[in-house]
Amino acid sequence: DQQVKQNSPSLSVQEGRISILNCDYTNSMFDYFLWYKKYPAEGPTFLISISSIKDKNEDGRFTVFLNKSAKHLSLHIVPSQPGDSAVYFCAARSGNTPLVFGKGTRLSVIA
């Protein structure tokens, strides 16, 4: 049973436009949600996170929105840049347990 779901395997966006990556979860006990970015031949790197007690967290061009009632979060990248092309993983944790990852979404930003 997949607790964290990223239903879009890939997304293409034009440079300068908004990229929206979506993530759904099933475990209402998750207390932190994290987004990771992964380039080819590198390990995933932490991008941005949000606590379950908040509904929005912003860091420069990146904003994460959390809708607890819908068990849904999204990552917005504005404006998108070619260097943002990567695989993005949504992850979540509850209490003292390891992160649970989604399957990832490959973002391609087209110049």
Partner 1 sequence: DADVTQTPRNRITKTGKRIMLECSQTKGHDRMYWYRQDPGLGLRLIYYSFDVKDINKGEISDGYSVSRQAQAKFSLSLESAIPNQTALYFCATSDPRDIQETQYFGPGTRLLVL
What is the contact surface with partner 1 in residues (CB under 8 A)?
Answer: 6, 9, 32, 34, 36, 41-46, 49, 51, 89, 91, 93, 96, 98-99, 101-104
The one-character DSSP state at 44 is -
Query: Strand, helix or coil at 4?
Result: strand
Task: State which residue, 84 or 104, has the beta carbon closest to partner 1.
Answer: 104
Q: CA-to-CA distance for 57 and 76, rounded, in angstroms?
A: 10
Shortest distance in whole angstroms from residue 63 CB to partner 1: 17
Contacts of 111 (CB under 8 A, 6+ apart): 15, 82
Shortest distance in whole angstroms from residue 70 CB to partner 1: 21
Shortest distance in whole angstroms from residue 79 CB to partner 1: 26
Task: State which residue, 65 or 101, has the beta carbon closest to partner 1.
Answer: 101
Per-residue tokens: 33: 């949600």
Shortest distance in whole angstroms from residue 101 CB to partner 1: 4
Q: Which residues pair with 25 in a beta bridge?
A: 4
